[in-house]
Structure 1
């Protein structure tokens, strides 16, 4: 797949033939495939000042400093490598060739597949570089997940991404999104995932990390991107490790009183039933539902992230088709309990064999994936259901709940068992007026300047929307 028309070899040749580009390579894990790519074509001596690989942890610590976390495949390690190598390069070569050279330091720290370990194969890769001689440096940091099943294929893919990164920095940096797309040039879809990109420095001063995160998921470079309440992209595993998590999928355009009541009810049950005072709330936005037939991004996606961040929520952008995929991802990030908050009306796909025909075990396999380990499904009542057969509401609550939800007869026993094991739990205390609120309707009212929308969101949400002119609001 050559989106930009050049092969890895051709990119190396172009860089080697550019007399200004000159730098060093420091690679740990998965060989030294990036430097090797440049050596395999003519003229590498015009590009490569130094290449090294400090595999031994003691050597690595003596060069770059020890990691307090004892983790060597992490962003902080990569940053230390970039700083050390770039400073060393400019200190030693700044005087003899600084006026003629645009220096760079490339580094990666990677955990590739091996016979001893079957853990996740991933790594951090980065470039600190000058666009022109004696200019301020800019920096690109990328987190990659290597999906090939064989070590040598992972090494090959990593080498290709590294070359693409260096080429993109020097020839595509005017368009950061084009640069990001170019990282997978020469790779088939499914070999590499890129789920975190950090751009900094004068070349990228106007770049919004949230836009980059959306772009990664929208263009299928990753299935998910995690955005903190401050608007920075990060790895979900780093943010959620060791924390109980409550997650809810939705459009959140905008966050309504219904959403807030759902979260409040879930927090209350988690506190009383599971003795967990404050789970970390992650609001999941499915990007595939924000993209129309012409692949035109929802114009308000950034407004959603801004609003949720201001309210103190973490956001995950994803492309998951099924709830169990979301739960599988989050349960890999933490060993603590994970709670999925859903409206009763969204349970139907979980028990629809046609919807789960991609699973050999169908509905039962899907339920197993959904509720494995420390997972629990918290079900918020509804006042209407989109089902063919008539269904009676729960007499006590006058709402549809787990007790009244129409499950196919072949799966009633499975649901009953899951309810008895507290894997599926009803939430109580809903307000009939809140159940009638629709984000879609609220958004239309905001855009058409109807005052009714203000009764369907909290004062805090109203204030943020009006002060920042979100979702097309006009005074």
Structure 2
């Protein structure tokens, strides 16, 4: 069968790679696709171990799988270990927060913890094991380029690991594709954590031009299986109005759709946030790090500040 043929080719490629490409693991990963296409094979986990690979960071290899299209997503835990997504997701309720995490700030963690409290209160989630994920998309990692900045990626991975978080790298920029991926691997509830600015992105129709049903099809796919979106408020500065799901104004012709989704409970407002974190933005932290303004470390957890200082991530320089 075609499946057996594809597996046979992968086996041959793997043997070849083991003999001739073991000194360049990234090329070994790429070589697995020789004489194949990403339509014929999917590899969602790869791990290099042994003395010959002692300098290989398997998180980079996980990233490579997604980058070359061998998998739509890859996962690794806080201890740098790569994980088999199907095993980890199986029979777990999933709460996922997407972000750039450059670096992780108090607000990122407050978003997640606030949503987790609400998520646990859902009757369908009560007493179920919950998997928390911090998601990095390939689009965010590529930042408009064609190559991922490895040091930048490892910086994000390290600070997320320091916060005890499991990381999902995905090529699912559209949320409905992320939801489809997760729901194909667990039957339990799924929650997504967003900030108010992401709602406007969610209602931008340009992202759904490939769907026959456009934005309506997007929400149909996204919200099936009772997926719920938990929204963290926005307040750009202390004197500004607090923006919540109840103050959001999208395009006029889409406002009735938005209002309907709020009424039906698809969007849930997080009201259990810590107000002192509202003014923290990752881009401000980055600017302060680059400028040598030491006040940035008040905006991130201590373990994150320690890693940034000791490893020189995010352009940090000792003064």
TM-score scaled by structure 1? 0.61
Tell me if 1:192 matches 2:44.
no
The equivalent residue for 1:335 is: 187
Tell me if 1:296 matches 2:139.
no
Report if the CA contact (8 A) 1:383-1:432 is conserved.
no
Report if the CA contact (8 A) 2:158-2:307 is conserved.
no
User: Of 269, 274, 279, which aligns to 1:426?
Assistant: 269
Count of paired positions: 312
Greater shift in the superposed pair: 375-384 or 293-302: 293-302
User: Of 133, 156, 160, which aligns to 1:282?
Assistant: 133
Tell me if 1:358 matches 2:214.
no
5+ long unaligned stretches in structure 2: none
The equivalent residue for 1:126 is: none
* Mapped partners of 2:53, 2:122: distance in 1: 48
The equivalent residue for 1:400 is: 243
* Mapped partners of 2:137, 2:187: distance in 1: 24
The structure with the greater share of residues assigned to strand is 1
Report if the CA contact (8 A) 1:165-1:183 is conserved.
yes
Q: Deviations over 1:180-207 (max 9, x none)?
A: 1101011234322222111222322221
The equivalent residue for 2:87 is: 238
Q: Deviations over 1:386-431 (max 9, x none)?
A: xxxxxxxxxxx93122222113344444333433332211111445
Q: 1:294 to 1:371 in 2, by over 3 A?
A: closer
The equivalent residue for 1:324 is: 176
Tell me if 1:416 matches 2:259.
yes
Q: Deviations over 1:361-385 (max 9, x none)?
A: 111111111111141111111236x
Q: What is the DSSP-based 3-state SS (H/G/I as helix, E as strand, rest coil) of the residue aligned with 1:221?
A: coil
Q: What is the DSSP-based 3-state SS (H/G/I as helix, E as strand, rest coil) of the residue aligned with 2:91?
A: coil
Structural RMSD (CA): 2.3
Tell me if 1:371 matches 2:220.
no
> What displacement does 1:288 show?
2.4
Report if the CA contact (8 A) 1:350-1:366 is conserved.
no
* Mapped partners of 1:425, 1:445: distance in 2: 33
Q: How does 1:168-187 map to 2 (within 5 A)?
A: 168-187=17-36
Report if the CA contact (8 A) 1:336-1:374 is conserved.
no
Tell me if 1:446 matches 2:295.
no
- Larger radius of gyration between Structure 1 and Structure 2: 1
Report if the CA contact (8 A) 1:218-1:288 is conserved.
no
* Mapped partners of 1:272, 1:206: distance in 2: 44
User: Of 314, 325, 329, which aligns to 2:166?
Assistant: 314
5+ long unaligned stretches in structure 1: 1-151, 385-396
